[in-house]
Structures are given as C-alpha cells and as structure tokens.
Structure 1
Amino acid sequence: MQQKKSVSNICPAVAKTGDVSSCPYNDKCRFSHDVEAFKAQKPDDLVGECPFSRAEEPCPYGLTCRFLGTHQEGVSVGSIHASRNSSEMNVFSKDVQKLLWKNKMRFPKADAKLKALGLLKHANSKVKIPVDKEDDQIVLKNYDVVNGNGSTDLTDKDTELEKSATITENDVVDETLESNELPPLKKPKCVVSESCFIEAEDAGVMVVEKVVSESCKQTEADTTDDLVTPETDGSLKLHPREKKIIDFRDKLYLAPLTTVGNLPFRRVCKVLGADVTCGEMAMCTNLLQGQASEWALLRRHSTEDLFGVQICGAFPDTVARAVELIDKECSLDFIDINMGCPIDLVVNKGAGSALLMKPMRMKGIIEAASGTVDKPITIKVRTAFFEGKNRIDSLIADIGNWGASAVTIHGRSRQQRYSKLADWDYIYQCARKAPDTLPVLGNGDIFSYLDWNKRKAECPELSSCMIARGGLVKPWIFTEIKEQRHWDISSGERLDILKNFVRFGLQHWGSDTKGVETTRHFFLEWLSHTCRYIPVGLLDIVPQRLNWRPPSYYGRDDLETLMASDSAADWIRISEMLLGKVPDGFTFAPKHKSNSYDRAENG
C-alpha cells in the first residue's frame, strides 16, 4: 500500500481534474493525492504538442500528460469522464466483462444453431468439475481433463498466448476499471470450456460433450435479472446467400498482423490508401473469458470504413458464441475466422492451421458461425498443413456452401511457414475451382504495384490480393498500387509517416508516461520490419523483392542510412527523436527478432 501511495502513482481522478476533492474515495484512495509532489518528480515534458490538442474535449490525461506544457490555459486538464479518444469504437464494457467472469452471459442464437446442427449435446458430462459458490460468483477449482491425445495439460493453456507478450493491448483497456475494482483472483472458464470437448474420431462422428456450470442449468422461467442474453429480433433468419455481400474485388486489403497490425498502424495504412483493414487475431476462448487485452484487439477507428475482426478457435461452440457476442458488442463489417495460423501455441490447441487436417471440424465452425449472425463470415487458410499435401482445392467448392462469404488463401503450407515463395499457381487453381458466389483472395509476397498487377492479370477469377509483410516494410505500397508507380520516397517523407504513427499511438495508448513507453514498444517492433526497405533510387534492379536480404549500405543522407540499420540500438535512436530519451536501463529485443524476414506471424 505504501508503494502505491508514492507520489509517482497519482490518483487518476485527481490527475484528470487537478482537483483533490474530485476523488470519490478521499483518504481511502490507494493512490496519492499530492499534486505538488507529483509535479516535482514528473519527468520533463516531451518536445511537441499534446496529441489531444485538436480534440473537442480536453486532454484526458491531465497532469500526467507528457505534453502538459502545451495544454491551453483554462483547459489544461480534462473532466473525470473525458474520453481517451472519441474516434475509437468497440470499447469493451465493464458490465459485459463482469458477466463473462461470472459465466452469466447466455448465447441463444449460437446455441440454437449448434443444436440444429447437432453440435450441442445435453448429455451428462463424463468430466465432473467441483464448483464453489461464493458471493454469487462461481469459481472453478483446478482440474485435469484428458484430451484426445491423452495429455492432461489443457487447464493452463488458454493463457499461454497472453504470457508470451511483454507488453499487450491490456495496457490500454485495464484503465477502464475503477481504481477500487480488481478482477477476481480466478477467472472461470467460459460456459462451455474448449478443453471439455472430446472428439470420437474412431466412430467417424464428432461427439460433443460439455460441462455446464450450475448458473446455466436454470430454465427460462428461473433466469435472474442479471443473466443477460444478446438481443434477438423477430425477423426471419437470412439464408447465407441472402446476407450482405462485401465486394472485395480490386480493394486493397491490409492483412491482420500479429503485434504490428495494431490500430495506430492500420490508421497509417488507411492514410496511405488501404481500403480494407482487419484487427489482430483474437482467441475465442480469451474473448469468452472476458480478457480485456484480447478485447482490445477488436478496437476500431472511425477512419476504418471497411473493417473486420479476425478470431481463432478450435471448436464450433466457442467460435459461434464468440461471433454472437462480437456481433452484439462491436461495430464491424465482417468477421474473419483464422484457419491458417502456424504458431505452435495455436496449432497445439487444435486451432489455426490444425483445422486444415479436420475438414468436418472446419465445416462445423463455418456453418455454426455463419448461421449465428447476419454479418459476412470470411475465412483465411493456408494451402495445407504439410508441404506437398495441398487440400484447399478439394474443399473450395464446399466452403461456399458451408456459409463463408469469402476465402483468403495464403500460398504456403503450415510446415513451410514463411520460407520460400508463395505458390500463386495453386492459389489460381483454387480461384478457378471456386463457385462464382465465393470471392477468393490471394496472399503472399506482394511488394510492389507490378506484383499486384501480375497476380490480377494472370487470374481474373481472383477477387483481390491481401497485403501483409509488404505493408509492414513499406506501408506506402497502397499508394504505389493506386498510383501505379514506384515511389522513390525520401527519408523526410518516411519520417513524416513515422510521426503519424507516434501521434496515432499516443492517442490510442495514452500521452502519459505509460502510454509513451507502450507507443515506443510497438514503434520499435514496426521499425524491425521497415529497416528492410531499400530506396528505389539505390536499386540496380527495380522493384525490390520481399525475399531479398540486402547487404549494409549507405543511404543518400544520414537519416536514410540510420533507417536502413538492422541494429536495435539505431531503432531506439529513431524512437528518441520522436518520443524523447528512453528510461534508464531500457532494452529492446523484437518479438520476431530472428524471423523478421521469414515470419511476420500474420496467419
């Protein structure tokens, strides 16, 4: 408590208003109310203006803003209810989060569809879970469940993806909790846990068994007032072919990119010409558990006029329920289901590219998801799981019948990861076999407008091409394609793009010290990719290829040389130009350090 009372941890309410009396907890508050002491130890302001200076509302960070000196007199601090960024949508509701924590959210649309498909059984579970009820909150005790492979380690796997990241979007959303509220010590599993499903493959059918918490055994008549169900309308259910169709033809589609495909980066790409954007991949189990860091991946900016979210799950029930909840809580145009992610943590749970080996599981997921919501459901796949055993061409006709509105094919197998070039001939083969009602998009190695033109010309049946690593290395590729030219961009123009990212990042993650350092982290992650760009004016052969590994070279000015460095120390120097000096003892190692050429982990 004494540590939290230190002057560096000033009360958020006091910081926003500058008024000690604004805190509703007074002396019981766990944070410091000493404004003068906080100002005395606060780091010097950064160079530049507050990223919220042009907003209609005052800066929501008030006294903690690192640009406090640029706040106008009389409006230097904001109201306690000031929004971080009124242009952002899909902010996770605390009320919904609490309901998910307590297993009191119900999914009538998803469950009705699952039951109709025969994927939801009401037989008693073979796995008994001891349950403690305390204060109307259900806490599941630790237990082991044997999966189809005989292992018993599924209990803790749901949070492994969270543990792999040093800084997550949780830095943003956790601040939505009141200062006196803490999440429960143990978060219960979702109503139906993924780990409680057993597939009887030897019988040729999927037998779905579930463990239902006591809170969900009550009938409709016994439902309590705080048991919330997503709204249902009385309209007739649309046939999949009657759903709203998104015309992807010739649109520039920025792929969902892990770590770097955050909201500020997507805003940069929108400014430079991207037509379609998609959020980072979110795990369905984590969404259903109410994990704020996972819900932060679904954030949308008002400039993203054609926006989708990407989710990943191993079973029809978790995907369908996540889809229903997302459709109710979020503003979006389509939902993409990832069936191609090669990451071990995902594949080992039976999700991502592991689904390519289970076509009937794919069918169940697509049918359940598309039958639950009216929003278009798209999927993203790889050519196969194992190299040399392509199978999407044999499934492409069925995928449309199952309810998918579009399919994106990454021209590599899971085993291949990001090595070698994408197999566009196979993508063409799949596009020609696809029914006319199913748009097919290709993905892999698009790095110039000539690459885009070639892929479109060689296969008119292809609706569009998804741009992934090419957008990471040079986000102005969208401008090049639209203007049909090689842009010999100068170091000054590139610096302006980096400044835009920093401004968008401070608006998204915050202009206080925590927000500045979070922005710096994701900025450095991005620089670990942009250093691979070779200026057009220095090339002997135009255009640059994505798989080139250029030797060290001198640019046309010092800034261009600095931007070409593959040293993390030089990336930190660039960050200090825009975000001030790094804290004492600061170090940085990119998440995809050894894989920056071959693995952008974009599924």
Structure 2
Amino acid sequence: MTTLRPGTAPIKAEFLLSNTVIAVPDDDAAEGGTSHASGNRDNAVEREDSRSGPQRRKPTREEKKSRKGQNKGRRFQKVRDELELCWKIASGKDCEFGADCRNTHDIEAYLAAKTRDIYFPSFDNLTEEPPFVTLPSEDAVMVDQSSPSMDPSTTCPVHAVRGECRMGLKCRFLGAHARKTDAGDWEVTVDEEKKARSAVLEAELNFIGGETLKKLRTKKYPCPISDAYLKELQVEGDASKVKETNAPAEVTVSSEPQPTTDVPDEPTVSASHPSASVANEPEAQVDTPDVQMRPAEKKRLHWKGKTYLAPLTTVGNLPFRRLCVDYGADITCGEMALANSFLQGSKEEWSLVRRHPSEKIFGVQVAGSKPSLLVPTAEILAKELGGNLDFVDINCGCPIDLVFKTGSGSALLDSAGKLGKIVVGMNKALGDIPVTLKLRTGVKDGRNNAHKLMPRLGHEWNAAALTLHGRTRQQRYTRLADWDYIKTCVDAVREREAEEDLHPIPIFGGGDVFSSEDYWEKVDSSGVDGIMIGRGALIKPWVFTEVKERREWDISARERLELVRKFADYGLNHFGSDTPGVNTTRRYLCEALSFQYRYIPLGLLETLPGRINDRAPSFRGRNELETLLGSPNSQDWVKISEMFLGPAPEGWSFTPKHKSNAYGQEESQG
C-alpha cells in the first residue's frame, strides 16, 4: 500500500500521477452563495449590503478584503442569437406589433444568421474512448437541407419528450421538428399523442401567474389568517418583537438593484390592505378566516426509511433534483428561498417552487427572521400551491453572514421564543400542510443548544419533522459532523415523546455521509429515521442507489457520462432549447461537474468506502474518459458540456462557486 499523508485518499500506486494533493475546494464559500435557479443573481447578497435607506452603506476595507478569493462577483450574462426572431412568429402566431416589433419577422434571414443546430447524442452514441461521443457523418448531416443551419440528424430533447417544442423556430435542435411546407412556409411539427401523455407525466407544477405576482408587489394579496395571528401577538404585548423596526432589513437577492422605497420590509396593516378595515366594520360583516385546523388534524409525515436530498442553493435546481430522483431520492426540497422576496412578488424567487411530477414528496424551504415575514409567506404558499406541496421547511441552518445578521437562518437557533411563534403561526397559515425545520447543532462551537430546542419544536410548537446538521454555524466543513451529539438530540426528543405518550416525529441527521456503509452505520448508531444528503449527492448523485441497495457502486465512466447526458436533457426541458436556454443549461451542468469531478472511482482505491473529506492526489483513471471526468480544470468541464450542448460561445468560461487555485481559467462570464 502506498504511504500517503493522513486525510489523503488511498489511491492505488498504478493510478497515481504524483503524491501532490489537488487543492481542496472551499465548501464553506460554496455554501455561502445564495444564487437561484433563474437570472443573474449569483451571490448578489454577498456583493453589497442590501439594506436600504439610511441603513445602506458601502462595505468597509476589511469587508472587501475578507471577500477576496471567495468568488463573490460571478456574472452569468444571457447569450442570445445575433438576430432575434419575434417569439410570436417563431411559434407560428401573429404578432400584434407588426412592423413596430423590436425583433425581426423575417424567418429566412433569421435562419440564415442562426448558429448551426446542435447534435444531441443518444445513449448509444457514448463511448469510453475519445471523442467519447460518436457524431453522424457529414453525409447524414447535409441530406435534404432546407436551411444550412438545420441538422435533421439531431434530436430535440424537448420535442422527444413532450411532442412539441415551445421554442418553435428558435430551438437549437430545430432540424428535428421543423420542415418547409409546399407553400414555402415553415412549420414546426407536433406529436399529439406524446403531447397528451407529457401533459400528465412531464408538465412542471407550481407555476405562479402574473396576476398573483402583481398583487404581491402592490401589497394587495389578502392574508386573513396571518393578519389575525399577527394581531394576536400584538394583543399579547409582543408588538415590538413582531415589528422589530430597528432591525436590519431582510436580505433581498435579485439580478438588479431593488428600489429602496417601493416595497416595505414587511407586510403591514394599512388602508390599502384588503383586511385593514376589519377592525372598523360591524362584527357581523367581517369575513373571518375559516376555523383553524387542530394539530391532530395535520398530515403526518411517514418518512422513516426514505432517502432525502438536501435543499441546495444554485445546484439544487429542478434538473438536478430530477436526476437524484432517478437514482433513488424519495424526498426533495427546493432551493432556499427568502420570505421577503416571496412577499415582494419576485419572479425569480417564485421560480424556486417549481416541481417535476417525478418528485413524489416535495417541499419548499423558506428563510426569514420573524413571524410577520414567514407566516404570510406560508399562507400564500398554501393558497397558491395547494395539493402540489407536501411540506414547508424553515431554514434554521444557513450560516452566511448577511443572512445571519438579519436574524434569519442559523440566527433563529438563539431565538427560541421567536422561532416558536414562527412555527405556530406557519402551522395555522398552512392548514394541513406540515411544517418541518432544518437546524444546526448551535451557533458557536462548544455552545450547542439543539438538544434543548428540538423537543420543544416537535411537541410544543407542532413541527412535523426535524433535520439536524451535525455542525455549528461556526464550524467549517474540514471538521467532521458530530454524530454523537445528533444521537443526544434524538434521545432528548424520544424521551419527551415517551414521557408524554406523544406520536413520534421523523428526525433526520446530516453531515459527511458519502456511501451506503456511512449511511446505515450512522442511522443505526444515532437512532435517526434517515439522513439528509447534500454534498455527498452533489459529488455522486448515485449515492441514493447505493443506500437503497446497501452496496457500494463502482460506477463506470460511461455510466457517469450517461448521467451527464441526463442532466443536459433535463436542463433543456426546464430552461429551454433556444440559445439562452442552452447556455443556462451549460452553466448549471458545469456547476454540477464542479462537484462531480471530486468523485474518486472505487476501483482506484486501496480501501473502501471512499470518504467525503479525503483529499485526492493527482491520479489517472482506468480509461481516458474516467481521467477526463476527474479533471479539476474548469475548461474540461466546459469541454464535457460541449459534447451535449454544442460549442460554448466565444469567450465563455466557467468559475465554480467554491473557487480554488486548482481550477483552470477563471474569467467572468461573457
């Protein structure tokens, strides 16, 4: 066995290129991002203090210095066609603007200028030897071309699944579903049978309409349950705690600077609010909320033995969740969303609630600092999503400074009274939809308090399930999660349940799980009902298959490339198959690869299983594809994306969230 430093992955000597350890990505910097699935919002919360009015200030020199090297300013601009075709014309409809339309109506000119179609390979086209994807011959590509930009040999991933492509003539796989009629017009074909079937199996759920967003932006969305509950708190003498007028404003993450005066920091009862005049009306005329649901009537969560994919900012988007579901994830949760942005009607924030039909148990995670933000958010979620939402999770674990300093995320661990009011109020507002919480062990090292908080959350305030990440806010990923303390917390909850003859609630643990052996050993030793997997799933999404089948999977390089193809397929179906959609998919595929390259194939290791915090020395794989998939160079991730999404636009490069010196070219996106 090769002698390596402690903490170094034990790679067999025949695969070692050198004993030099590859630089470790900064997972704390990655967790610090608050980017979302849509728009150019990456780390906006980190770029500038988002407080408004007199509270707004420029970062100090020390703050600027502390942000260097942590990749705070990534930009991902949309890449568009050189000549823009009107959407209505691209879809075969009439444009109401006619000659005044800002985009072209000249289809022939658009197709002449359009970048050549992308060839989307089938699984049969994938190999383990260069070039890894088998392309059709030039003769096959050029047969019966009506336009030089079109490739009839390709497949449109959207049309293949849905029977139609919503991008119409703007699709980058247009040759698969467009033809010229005898009259000389362009026609996009539709498969009616597939279209009908996909309406049930593929259509994404939880779309929020423009009217709802408008009501939210103008503070005209009625929230009678929340209003009544917040008034109760005021009557109880907690008005100062509810309003917290001197606290920093809630963090807002957006692609553009937000107006500082249009939207207040929290919903207030005013003359413009639909429920504002309630106090002035005769009692018989007041439209009171429905009778509140009793705790015993809430849906119970039967999660014991199920696998749970953690909510993950940026990388936990819908295509990635679909991928994990394919590999065995039972429970999925959307990316962390900000309650304040929900209430402001942010289109980007509301996109985070989208659900694919394959997600059998799906929840939304929200972060906020007080009842006046989180309770109305819960009421709106219940009204708008209804039966398409299985639970709402409160984030009590986010460690990043600008979330913590507003009293959100892990700051709630030190505010038990306020957290209790939040949970009780959200339970009232959500009806039969359960409330769950994701926690850390505490805020500071040596001052754990989750063992005191969790019994109260579950059985005083009626949380339906709890997840505990075995680290404090202060603790870094380089230190292992404390599973002994997780057991202490589980025992504390179960002891109270036994004393008071209460129904047990699901408790999940989290931290450092990277294999089937890890998973089941920690379940048995800690007493948790299951484990929420985050980083382990990012590095190897097939970890859920390993857990369910109780085995370690020495996955082949070709099987890993099939996984990449699946992600590209799901990304195009979610983000779109036009030029912007292709490059948004490319961006998120590279995000996924920035974690997946860290997987060390089991066949290369001296001892099993692999460990998540082991540092990898420079190594080669068992074939050229395995070597490429293990490359830490971001240019290689772009190269892999080009196998499925065509050549990257000129000047396009990729910088990962957890930037380290090991990565290749690290330029901002263009």
Band of TM-score, shorter chain: 0.7 to 0.9
Deviation track 1:340-397 (CA, whole Å, cap 9, x = no partner) reads 1011221121100011111111111111111221200000010000111000111122
Equivalent residue for 2:262, pick from 170, 184, 188: 188
Report if aligned partners of 2:308, 2:533 keep a CA contact under 8 Å in 1. yes
State the match for 2:519 in structure 1. 452
Aligned equivalent of 2:145: none
Counterpart Cα distance in 2 of 1:6 and 1:471? 35
1:540 maps onto 2:606 in alignment = yes
Q: 1:403 aligns with which of 439, 462, 471?
A: 462
* Deviation of 1:291 (Å): 0.5
Within 5 Å, give how 1:222-241 maps onto structure 2: 234=290, 236-241=291-296
The 3-state SS of whatever aligns with 1:13 is helix
The one-letter code of the counterpart of 1:294 is E
Deviation, structure 1 residue 187? 8.1
Matched residue SS, 1:89: coil
Higher relative contact order (CA 8 A, sep 6+): 2
Shift of the alpha carbon at 1:410? Answer: 0.3
Written as runs of structure 1 = structure 2, the 5 A alignment for 1:36-115 is 36-48=108-120, 49-71=155-177, 73=179, 76=188, 87-115=203-231
Distance 1:318 1:99 in 2: 16
Percent of residue pairs bearing the same amino acid type: 43
Q: 1:55 to 1:213 in 2, by over 3 A?
A: farther
> Does the aligned pair in 2 maintain the 1:528–1:596 contact within 8 Å?
no
1:147 aligns with 2:246: yes
Q: 1:519 to 1:126 in 2, by over 3 A?
A: closer
Q: C-alpha separation between the residues in 2 aligned to 1:124 and 1:538?
A: 60
1:442 paired residue number? 509
Query: What is the alpha-carbon distance in structure 1 between the residues aligned to residue 377 and residue 190 of structure 2?
Result: 35
Structure-to-structure mapping, 1:488-503, within 5 angstroms: 488-503=554-569
1:315 corresponds to 2:370: yes
Q: Which amino acid in 2 is paired with 1:290?
A: G
1:250-289 to 2 correspondences below 5 Å? 250-289=305-344
Q: 1:562 and 2:632 equivalent?
A: no
Q: Which residue of 2 aligns with 1:13?
A: 88
Letter in 1 for 2:451: D
Stretch moving more, 67-76 or 470-479:
67-76
Query: Are the counterparts in 1 of residues 220 and 272 from structure 2 also a CA contact under 8 Å?
Result: no
With normalisation by structure 1, the TM-score equals: 0.81
Separation (CA, whole Å) in 2 of partners of 1:252 and 1:213: 48
Deviation digits for residues 220-274 of structure 1 (CA, Å, limit 9, x no counterpart) = 5999xxxxx9x9985x422223311111101000000111000000000011111
Tell me the equivalent position of 1:341.
398
Kindly state the Cα deviation for residue 212 of structure 1 after the two structures are TM-superposed.
Answer: 3.6
1:183-223 CA deviation, whole Å, 9 max, x = no partner?
x9888325xx24x9xxxxxxxxxxxxx57464557525999
- What's the offset of the Cα at 1:164? 10
What's the CA shift for 1:578?
A: 1.3
- 1:380-529 aligned at under 5 Å gives the runs 380-400=438-458, 401-434=460-493, 435-436=496-497, 437-460=504-527, 462-529=528-595
In structure 2, how many angstroms separate the alpha carbons of the residues matched to 1:120 and 1:372? 19
Name which of 422, 428, 432 aligns with 1:371.
Answer: 428
Classify the secondary structure of the residue corresponding to 2:622: coil
Structure 1 SS opposite 2:617: coil
Q: Distance in 1 between matches of 2:531 and 2:242?
A: 47
Mapped partners of 2:390, 2:661: distance in 1: 32
Given residue 111 of structure 1, which amino acid in structure 2 is its aligned partner? D
Mapped to 2, the partners of 1:390 and 1:595 lie a distance apart of 34
Distance 2:337 2:614 in 1: 31
CA shift for structure 1 position 99 = 0.8
Aligned residue for 2:103, secondary structure, equals: coil
In structure 2, give the amino acid aligned to 1:344: D
1:131 paired residue number: none
Amino acid at match of 2:108: E
1:533 aligns to what SS in structure 2? coil
What are the Cα deviations for residues 287-308 of structure 1, in whole angstroms up to 9, with x where unaligned? 1101011111111000001111
Distance 1:275 1:12, change over 3 A: same
Do the aligned partners of residues 439 and 218 (structure 1) sit closer, same or farther apart at CA in structure 2, a change above 3 Å counting?
closer
Deviations 1:129-177 (A, max 9, x none): xxxxxxxxxxxxxxxx9724xxxxx56x643x33599xxxxxxxxxxxx
Letter matched to residue 522 of structure 2: R
Q: Structure 2: which amino acid aligns with 1:533?
A: Y
1:115 touches 1:121 (CA, 8 Å); kept in 2?
Answer: no
User: Which ranges of structure 2 fall in alignment gaps of 5 or more residues?
Assistant: 1-79, 121-154, 182-186, 498-503, 664-670
Partner of 1:116: 232
Which residue of the other structure, out of 305, 311, 314, is the alignment partner of 2:360?
305
Change (3 A) 1:233 1:356: closer
**SS of equivalent to 1:506:** helix
Uncovered stretches (5+) of structure 1, i.e. residues with no partner:
128-144, 149-153, 166-183, 197-209, 224-228, 598-603
